[in-house]
Amino acid sequence: MNAAETQAAAAAATGQPLRMTYREACRQAIRDALIADPRTFVMGEDVGKYGGCYAVTKGLLEEFGPTRIIDTPLAENAFVGAGIGAALAGLRPIVEIMTCNFSLLALDQILNNAATIPHMSGGQFAVPLVIRMATGAGRQLAAQHSHSLEGWYAHIPGLKVLAPATVDDARHMLAAALADPNPVLLFEHIVLYNAEGELDPALQSVDIEHARVRRPGRDLSLITYGNSLPKALAAAQTLAAEGIEVEVIDLRVLRPLDTPTLLESVSRTRRALIVDEGWRSGSLSAEISARMMEGAFFELDAPVQRLCGREVPIPYAAHLEEAALPQVADIVDGVRALVRPA
């Protein structure tokens, strides 16, 4: 039993929350999956000897060996295609793509094969594939490593798209994804890997169907996901001191969207602000806004508003990168403008 397991066992015995990083939660989820099912294996660039580009798979090669922790060439189209083939053959691959920008090199495999084979085969073939990839900006990794492309994939029927923003979700979403007979994409925000949170030892599983209300409120629905969730919660705390009670919704599942939860919330609060690190044009936030306009138009006291990333390639310079992304102060100002218009 390693140190993480010892801590987890102690927390479970006492019923006390266990504090850990998002990175460690991801690692424990992968390790448990490898132990639970001999058909499961991990493949990707630098996942073995290097321990993963973000150290998520560190130590797993030594524990499980090179047949289950497989370092691949720098060829996303090849190893994603191999993962699809392995899934069709009955295995349960976890494919890691270093950053979602690089997933575009495997877009043909993801869109034209993983997402379509179950449909085109009339349900005769399942593709139980999980693809993990880092997304988002905030680490000064420049434009080719920092974009938020999960909204693109949320456009594609046949895929399930997840964005864990909490330690609990990072720890438990993988098991649910592996149990799904169809391909699941897990987008892990790079800034969250170092973030710490409390893991509920009583929680054994999470669903991958529904959004979550992370903070109840009455004055406005603040809808977001990924690394914008802690920013939204910080903004809500600031606004509460002013008497503005914001309801914070963590989307968690980007496809299929949990439309009923969103409509129920905005029907009560009557205002909504969507925070999306992705680009505004053709964005996931645009889809959510349209669904609210279609499903709750007469409950709205103001037009649905969006706060998105600037429509530029993500800059390298720290101050420009920060300016390109929605920040806590921007969220606070956006809520104030909706709740207390000039």
User: pTM of the predicted model, to two decimals?
Assistant: 0.93
- Which of 45, 96, 145, 189 is an active site residue? 145
**pLDDT tens digits along 178-219:** 999 999 999 999 999 999 999 998 899 999 999 999 999 999
**Structure confidence at residue 13 (pLDDT):** 55
Domains 3-199 and 212-339 share a fold: yes
Place of tokens 């504090």: 19
- Which of 24, 45, 76, 287 is an active site residue? 76
Q: Let me know if 96 is a catalytic residue.
A: no
Q: Let me know if 76 is a catalytic residue.
A: yes
**Structure confidence at residue 288 (pLDDT):** 98
Using DSSP, state whether 118 is helix, strand or coil: helix
**Structure confidence at residue 4 (pLDDT):** 57
Give residue 252's region: left, alpha or beta (phi > 0; psi -120 to 50): left
- Report the topology of domain 3-199: Rossmann fold (3.40.50)
Please enumerate, as own/partner, the contacts of 237-241 that have beta carbons within 8 Å and a separation of 24 or more: 238/328, 238/332, 239/332, 239/335, 239/336
Domain limits, the chain:
3-199, 212-339
Which residues make Cβ contacts (< 8 Å) with residue 337, sequence separation at least 6?
305
CATH of domain 212-339: 3.40.50.920
Token code pair at residue 95? 């494919």
**Structure confidence at residue 341 (pLDDT):** 76
Weakly modelled stretches of the chain, pLDDT under 70: 1-15, 342
